[in-house]
Structure 1
Amino acid sequence: MILPIVAYGFDVLRKVAKDITPDYPGLDKLIADMWETMYSSNGVGLAAPQINKDIRLFVVDSAQMFANMDEEETMLYNDRPGIKQVFINAQVEELIGDDWAFNEGCLSIPKIREDVYRAEEVTIRFMDENFNEHVKTFDGITARVILHEYDHIDGKLFIDHLKPLKRKMLKGKLDDISKGKVSVDYKMVFPK
């Protein structure tokens, strides 16, 4: 089932999400719905807070980014062909390497894209959908998508990484989003 994505301005996007246990009600269906919602919105990642759930759960499919690049462009990144992964109760263990810029957007903040600096690599501890624990290091585009989604479960948004002047310049657009004055081609709900 395609779930509505909450827009900028919802409180849940600013909460630090809670860990869950394997007996979380309807977890398998929730994960399946998150994949369906992400794909129907043309996203490459989706975090539970974006569907109004304050739990530490996100999904990432960086493989589809590589599928949409030409072969020459894929050679710029060591993490090809990407991953498709569920992350539960994730905790960043280490950020490695220099920060690098990439133009990011967010399904909860439509029509705004900005260059964001993030670490080259991330080592992250997480549970998969079967609650098997993993500690893995990711780099390149995959690391970036993971860090973007990880921010969501920590109550942060990609705009928080921008310089204060840039954020100030975006205030009008952000206010419009929170008031529902934006048109999207996916299911979205706006704060009341």
Structure 2
Amino acid sequence: MSIAHKAEKKDLMNIARKMIILALKNGLKYINKKDEQLIRELLDNSSIEDLTEGILGNLDKKISQLLTEIFSVKAPHLIRKVIKEPEDYKGKDLLIICNNLVEKNPQDTIQLCEGWILKFVVRSHVYYNDVISMLGIIKRALSQRKEGWEDYLSKFISKYKSRKKLIKMIQEANLAQEFN
């Protein structure tokens, strides 16, 4: 990354961009605020395409979150190459990513939210607020597809009917008019 910073200072953006991609492909393990800012500024659509071809699955969590944030805005069709396990993300972080993604790539948004919900809804009721927020995002994503929200929610409620507190929260959030 130090070479990328030096290249950027000398206005050699292509070299800086190539150094960033090389560092990320080789398993960069740590970035600071300056690195983060440089990555945000220099990754463009063509470099993102190039990056995803050799990206490692074992990225540092901070780097992975930065890339998913960038991808969700600049290259939503590639988001699943960075997020392999949605449950590795905090609910709030995944909500930000999915909010950026929902209009551009509804199918991946649904899969990411469902993957997270599947792992956390059974763990504890402390995650239910994030589950409700993710259901809201899924509702927005489904509005762009044939499968209706009512069908989806009815299956969801049926699947988690033993989670009384969650069902009550869904009803209180007005996610389903017919269940109120």
Question: Which TM-score applies when normalising by structure 2?
Answer: 0.26
Greater RCO, CA 8 A, separation 6+: 1
Question: Which TM-score applies when normalising by structure 1?
Answer: 0.25
